[in-house]
Amino acid sequence: MASSLTKDSARPGTPGSEKTFFGHPRGLATLFMTEMWERFSYYGMRALLPLYLVAPAGLGLDAGTAIAIYSVYVSTVYLLAMPGGWFGDRVWGPRKTVTIAGSVIMAGHLVLALPTDGTFYFGLLLVAIGSGLLKSNISTMVGHLYDGPGDPRRDGGFTVFYMGINLGAFAAPLVIGTVGQKVDWHLGFALAALGMALGLAQFLLGSRHLSERSAVVPKPLDTAERNATLRKAMIWMLIAAVFYTIVVTTGHYTLNWVMVPLMVIGLVVPITVLARIKRDKELTGVEQSKVSGYIWFFVAAAVFWMIYDQGGSTLSIFADKHVDNHVFGWEFPVSWFQSVNPVLVMALAPVFAAIWLALARSGKEPSTIVKFAGGLVLVGISFFVFLLPLVAADGGKVSPWWIVLIYFCQTTGELMLSPVGLSVTTKMAPAKYASQMMGVWFLAVTAGDAVTGLLSTYGVDLNKTGVVAAEAALAVLAGVAVWMYRKNVKQLMGDVR
């Protein structure tokens, strides 16, 4: 990336004389590379996870249980982004929180690399905790690089950052997926640990280029708050320990005793958090209005991610059983399908950026609300497309191009919704909840995946045509509803476009 760093010709010490990264603050290169390697580790492990869960040489679970575990895991990762943001705001500051998070993620992947089934779920838990700590804070640090919400480079900076995510996500299934499926599952998980180690090293070496705000705890806990928080945490941990001890000793324990509570929490927490922020008397009238408008974006995003994230579970397991993965007589690992989405993002993101820029110059760029509506409709269309190979695969194999087409529809929807969602969250967040609002954005993923997990847990076959059609119709109808109420939402957003 060194070749991408340029230096302006202005005299040192004057504005614009600092080195830049594609025209952005140099600290963006540090965060870009850190997130790229962290996503390499995360998406590599995630590409293997559903396949390992159903493989005879893995855990040998049925498809419904595997989808439920996968959904619970992804839901938990994004659920923990909220307390991750809280730690960044109140305890460690964003920079220290990301350092600790990277270490925990690396430890989790190393536990997954152990060739024992008994430690597998503990490894997943560690990766989920570390990912939750990292997600909100690294995105907040991107925002710190710019001069407030009005900085014209801000949206572009988040787009460049998003490219780093997808670069790591593209390479991960090709490397980690191949080693995991073709050589050894646990060696694949070990490569994920190596990826996180590289990301952590990159972050520590490049931290000097970050904003000084990233090392500051915005609102540190006082002694009374710290003691009260520790006391509450200990009480809840004791309750959980007693409850699960009783369940285990009485012989009633099953995996659902862990999964179902996590999924219910994944639905209850987002609603509770948004309600708490909305009722905060310290917020100004303008901030209250923006929070009300943000709820629309949150619900739209939850529906979107409910379908989108099944690309790594429902679609992956379908591909493993029903898709012909041979090209010119050569068999490629099914996990490679997980590289389709990120490579499409990298190919199409510049196209979308150019389209938005051209439309903006002529005063015709769609508003954030319209982009969200379009993203929902497109993800719904992707599952209408999914119906065709589902029917055609009855008793046989279908072309891999069906999977590519489905991912193409989802990717175009993602590019209309996800980067814009990250940016609008930072713009609409009340100052009091800067990092925590990034956690709220990720809670939309939690809610969507929690619904998927609950459906799978209670016997709904997500590879059935009726279920797929219902999900597709829900997304399209939600997109139409957002578009119809766009003027109301725009009023609530105030000065945010």
Q: Does the pLDDT of residue 497 top 70, yes or no?
A: no
Q: How far apart are CA 177 and CA 43, in angstroms?
A: 9
Rounded to the nearest integer, the mean pLDDT of the chain is: 86
Q: How far apart are CA 374 and CA 413, in angstroms?
A: 7
**Per-residue model confidence as pLDDT tens digits over 426-444:** 777 787 776 667 778 888 9
Distant-in-sequence, close-in-space partners of 255: CB < 8 Å, separation ≥ 6 = 65, 69
Q: Which of 127-136, 157-166, 360-369 shows the highest mean pLDDT? A: 127-136
Read off the amino acid at residue 397. Answer: K
Contact 365, 298 (CB under 8 A): no
Read off the amino acid at residue 328. Answer: F
Please give the radius of gyration of the chain, using alpha carbons only, rounded to the nearest integer.
Answer: 22
**Residue pointed to by tokens 């809840």:** 236
Q: Is 11 exposed, middle or buried (0-12, 13-18, 19+ CB in 10 A)?
A: exposed
The model carries a pTM of: 0.85
Q: Which helix (H) or strand (E) holds 426?
A: helix 401-428
**Per-residue model confidence as pLDDT tens digits over 300-325:** 899 999 999 999 999 999 999 999 98
* Rounded average pLDDT over 120-143: 89
**Per-residue model confidence as pLDDT tens digits over 360-399:** 888 888 888 888 899 999 999 999 999 999 999 877 899 9
Give one word for 189, left, alpha or beta, with left for phi > 0 and alpha for psi -120 to 50: alpha
